[in-house]
Structure 1
Amino acid sequence: MRMNANGQVTIPPELRARFNLREGDELDVIDVGGALRIVARGGADSPGERLVRHMRRHRFDNPDVGGLTTDEIMDLLRD
């Protein structure tokens, strides 16, 4: 594994799958006795929580829903 100029590293796909890590998950890097340890914050989200986080992150990319309130979006979905 190599760190880039921004201090970023890529976690290999097999480890992401094994530890159920997904895009957007929050991780901490901590010092444990002189060794770095990567720790997921607050436990794994449910599939529904991941979906909501994804929708919130991308809602302004869609011109049909950008800037609408939750109630306005729900009204559109109900029609």
Structure 2
Amino acid sequence: MRVTEKGQVTIPKDIRDRLNIGPGSEVDFVADEKGARLVVLSGEKSSSHDDFATWVRNVSGTFDTQGMTADEYMEWLRGPRDDLGPR
């Protein structure tokens, strides 16, 4: 393997496949008595849909609007909209 001017190397595809390393994976190089080892800190990232679904599950039920509807909360948050006219 050749190191680029930026200090980057390409992990061979067979190694990436065997270790489940893909875009978004976290890896580290650890120096030991024999040289350096590649350590996988986290496997391939899930799709953004899966990440969003996980986030929704984690925050579900944690936000209290104190009984306001979504429209009431948005008006409270942003202030009244002058461009809509009276309700």
TM-score class, shorter-chain normalisation, is 0.5 to 0.7
> After TM superposition, where is structure 1 displaced by more than 4 Å over at least 4 residues in a row?
53-56
- Aligned equivalent of 1:52: 48
TM-score normalised by the chain length of structure 1: 0.54
Cα deviation per residue 1:44-70 (whole Å; 9 max; x = unaligned)?
35xxx51138978xxxxxxxxxxxxxx
Number of matched pairs: 52
Q: Which has the higher contact order (CA 8 A, sep 6+)?
A: 2
Whether the 8 Å CA contact 2:3–2:9 is kept in 1: the answer is yes
The question of whether the paired residues in 1 share the 8 Å contact of 2:19 and 2:40 is answered with no
In the TM superposition, 1:1-79 aligns within 5 A as: 1-41=1-41, 43-44=42-43, 50-52=46-48
Any gaps of 5 or more consecutive residues in structure 1?
57-79
Aligned in 2, Cα 1:16/1:10: closer, same or farther, shift over 3 Å? same
Quick one: percent identity of the two aligned structures?
Answer: 31
TM-score using structure 2 length:
0.50
- The offset of 1:33, in angstroms, is 1.1
Provide closer, same or farther for how the CA distance between residues 53 and 31 of structure 1 changes in structure 2, counting only shifts above 3 A: farther
The structure with the largest alpha-carbon Rg is 2
